[in-house]
C-alpha cells in the first residue's frame, strides 16, 4: 500500500468522527440541543455550547490530520488516530451532559395508566430481506474462506505496518477470528432487536391507538437503522477476512491495500449514512409521541434518572429496557444485574473470540 493511501486512510478515520460530531453539533431541531430535548426554547448559551464544540472538534481534527500527514513518524500517526476520536467523542459527551443538566426537568408519571395487552414481537420489526442478506453474507463468506484456507501455506501475512509491509506471519486459521466477530455482530443485532421488542410498553390516558402506532414506527425505524449499520460493518469485516488469503492464493499484490481503504470507508463512513437517513424520522416520531403523552419516557420512575437523564437506575422498576430520556433509542435499567451482564458480554465476548481463535490456530 502506497504512502498516500496510508495517509488518506488514517486521515479518513479521524475525519469520520469529526463529521459525526459536527453533524450532531449543527442539529437545529426545535427545542433540542445535540438531539437532546431541552424542555424549553434554545437560548444564546445553548448556541455557544454548540459553537464551542464545533470549534474544538475542528481544532482536534486539524491537529490529528497534521500528525498523520506530516513526517512525524509512525508512532505520532498512530497516536493521532487513537487519541483524536477519543477527544472528539469525550468533548461531545461532556457538552451533552452539560446540556442535560441545563434542561428543564419534565414530570414523568410514576406508573403507566394502561399496559399494552399484546405487545408486538421481533418479527413485527425486522426487515426479512435485510436479515437474509446479512445471514447469507456471513454463511457465504465462511464457505468461501473454508475453501480457500485448505489451499494456503502454513503461514500467511497476518499484520501490516503503516507502509503496507508485512510485520507478522501466522496460521491462516487465525483469520477465523474475523468470521467469529462477524457472527457475533449478527447475533448481537438479533439480541438488540429482541431488546427493542422487549422495551416496556406504556400507554397514555388518551389517543392510545395513535400512540401505539407511533411507538411501533419508532421501534421499526430504530431496528431498520441498526440493520443497515450492522450490515455495512459486517461487509467491511468480510472484505478483510477474504481479501487477505485471496492475495496469497492468487499471488496478486495490492489487494490488501485496496481492501483496507474500502474497509475503513465502510466501517466508518458507512454507518453514518443510515443515521443521517433515519434519525430525522425518529425525531419526527418522538415529537408526535411527546405531543400526546407529554414525555418520551412514560412509565419510568422519575427518581431513577441520573446525570441529567443519561443514566437510568431504578431498583423498584422491574423493566430492563426503557425508552431513553436523553437522545434517541432505548437504555438499560442499570439497577438490574442482567444489564451489567449484557454490557460485559458486549465488551468481553469479541475479545475472547479473537483470543480463542488465535490460540486454536497456534
The residue among 81, 104, 127 that closes a domain is 104
Among 47, 77, 104, the domain boundary falls at 104
**How far apart, in Å, are the Cα atoms of 233 and each of 186, 199, 270, 312?**
10, 25, 8, 29
Whether pLDDT at 347 is above 60: yes
Do the beta carbons of residue 88 and residue 21 sit within 8 Å?
yes
Total length of the chain? 362
Q: Band the pLDDT of 164: cuts 50, 70, 90.
A: low
pLDDT tens sequence across 118-150: 888 899 999 999 999 999 999 999 999 999 988
In this structure, are 282 and 177 located in the same domain? Answer: yes
9 and 55 housed in the same domain: yes
Instruction: pLDDT band for 223, please (50, 70, 90 cuts).
Output: very high
pLDDT at position 136 is 96
Mean pLDDT across the chain: 84
Containing domain of residue 34, as a range? 1-104
Indicate if the pLDDT at residue 220 is higher than 60. yes
Cβ atoms 26, 46 nearer than 8 A: no
How many domains is the chain partitioned into structurally?
2
Indicate if the alpha-carbon torsion angle 45, 46, 47, 48 is positive or negative: positive
pLDDT at position 234, please?
93
Same domain for 99 and 130, yes or no, is no
Q: Are residues 92 and 214 in the same domain?
A: no
Q: What is the pLDDT of residue 217?
A: 95
- Determine the pLDDT at residue 117: 75
- The model's pTM is 0.82
The C-alpha atoms of residue 160 and residue 46 are separated, in whole angstroms, by 45
The predicted structure's pLDDT at residue 125: 93
Interatomic CA distance for residues 342 and 248, integer angstroms: 39
Distance between CA 185 and CA 175 in Å, rounded? 16
pLDDT at 3: 67
Last residue of a domain, one of 104, 135, 165: 104
Residue 85 and residue 9 share a domain: yes
Highest mean pLDDT among 128-132, 242-246, 258-262, 304-308: 128-132
Q: Let me know whether 214 and 316 are in one domain.
A: yes
The pLDDT value recorded for residue 90 is 93
| Average pLDDT estimate for 234-263 | 81
- Do 172 and 266 fall within a single domain? yes
Q: Are residues 252 and 344 in the same domain?
A: yes
Write the CB contacts of 151 (distance below 8 Å, at least 6 apart in sequence): 249
**Mean pLDDT comparison of 73-87, 192-206, 226-240, highest-scoring range:** 226-240
In angstroms, rounded to a whole number, what is the distance separating the alpha carbons of residues 155 and 139?
24
Residue 261: CB atoms within 10 A of its CB come to 16
Determine whether 255 is exposed, middle or buried from the number of CB atoms within 10 Å of its CB (0-12, 13-18, 19+): middle
CB 159 within 8 A of CB 118: no
**What 8-state DSSP symbol labels residue 203?**
B
User: So what's the pLDDT on residue 361?
Assistant: 47
Q: Do 181 and 93 fall into the same domain? A: no
Q: 138: Cβ–Cβ under 8 A, 6 or more apart, which residues?
A: 179, 182, 183, 186, 234, 238
- Strand extents, DSSP E, 34-116: 36-37
Q: Where are the alpha helices (DSSP H) in 150-207?
A: 176-198
Q: Are residues 66 and 132 in the same domain?
A: no
Task: Identify the pLDDT of residue 356.
Answer: 60
Mean pLDDT of 6-24: 86
Of 10-19, 45-54, 270-279, which one has max mean pLDDT? 45-54
Is there a single domain that holds both residue 163 and residue 295?
yes
Is the model more confident about 2 or about 55? Answer: 55
| DSSP code, position 167 | E
11 has pLDDT over 90? no
Task: Say whether both 277 and 129 belong to one domain.
Answer: yes
Angle in degrees, 0-180, between the axes of helices 44-69 and 74-102, rounded to the nearest 10: 170
Task: Give the burial class of 5: count Cβ atoms within 10 A of its Cβ; 0-12 exposed, 13-18 middle, 19 or more buried.
Answer: middle
Amino acid at each position: 500500500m502506497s504512502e498516500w493511501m496510508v495517509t488518506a486512510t488514517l486521515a479518513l478515520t479521524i475525519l469520520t468522527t469529526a463529521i459525526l460530531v459536527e453533524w450532531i453539533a449543527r442539529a437545529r431541531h426545535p427545542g433540542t440541543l445535540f438531539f437532546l430535548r431541552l424542555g424549553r426554547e434554545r437560548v444564546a448559551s445553548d448556541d455557544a455550547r454548540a459553537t464551542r464544540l464545533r470549534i474544538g472538534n475542528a481544532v482536534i481534527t486539524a491537529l490529528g490530520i497534521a500528525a498523520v500527514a506530516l513526517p512525524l513518524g509512525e508512532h505520532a500517526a498512530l497516536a493521532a488516530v487513537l487519541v483524536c476520536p477519543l477527544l472528539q467523542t469525550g468533548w461531545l459527551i461532556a457538552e451533552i451532559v452539560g446540556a442535560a443538566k441545563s434542561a428543564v426537568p419534565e414530570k414523568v408519571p410514576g406508573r403507566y395508566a394502561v399496559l399494552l395487552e399484546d405487545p408486538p414481537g421481533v418479527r413485527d420489526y425486522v426487515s426479512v430481506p435485510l436479515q437474509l442478506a446479512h445471514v447469507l453474507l456471513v454463511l457465504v463468506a465462511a464457505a468461501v474462506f473454508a475453501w480457500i484456507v485448505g489451499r494456503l501455506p502454513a503461514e500467511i501475512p497476518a499484520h501490516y505496518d503503516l507502509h503496507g509491509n508485512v510485520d507478522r506471519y501466522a496460521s491462516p486459521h487465525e483469520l477465523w477470528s474475523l468470521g467469529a466477530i462477524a457472527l457475533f455482530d449478527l447475533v448481537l443485532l438479533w439480541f438488540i432487536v429482541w431488546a427493542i421488542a422487549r422495551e416496556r410498553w406504556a400507554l397514555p390516558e388518551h389517543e392510545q391507538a395513535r400512540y401505539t402506532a407511533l411507538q411501533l414506527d419508532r421501534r421499526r425505524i430504530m431496528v431498520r437503522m441498526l440493520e443497515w449499520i450492522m450490515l455495512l460493518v459486517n461487509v467491511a469485516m468480510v472484505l478483510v477476512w477474504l481479501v487477505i488469503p485471496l492475495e496469497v492464493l492468487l499471488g496478486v499484490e495490492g489487494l490488501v491495500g485496496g481492501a483496507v481503504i474500502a474497509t475503513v470507508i465502510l466501517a466508518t463512513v458507512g454507518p453514518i449514512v443510515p443515521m443521517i437517513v433515519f434519525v430525522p424520522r425518529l425525531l419526527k416520531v418522538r415529537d408526535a409521541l411527546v405531543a400526546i403523552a407529554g414525555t418520551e419516557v412514560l412509565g419510568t420512575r422519575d427518581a431513577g434518572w441520573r446525570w441529567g437523564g443519561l443514566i437510568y437506575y431504578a431498583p423498584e422498576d422491574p423493566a430492563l429496557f426503557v425508552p431513553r430520556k436523553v437522545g434517541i433509542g432505548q437504555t438499560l435499567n442499570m439497577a438490574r444485574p442482567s444489564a451489567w451482564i449484557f454490557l460485559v458480554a458486549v465488551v468481553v465476548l469479541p475479545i475472547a473470540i479473537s483470543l480463542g481463535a488465535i490460540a486454536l490456530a497456534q
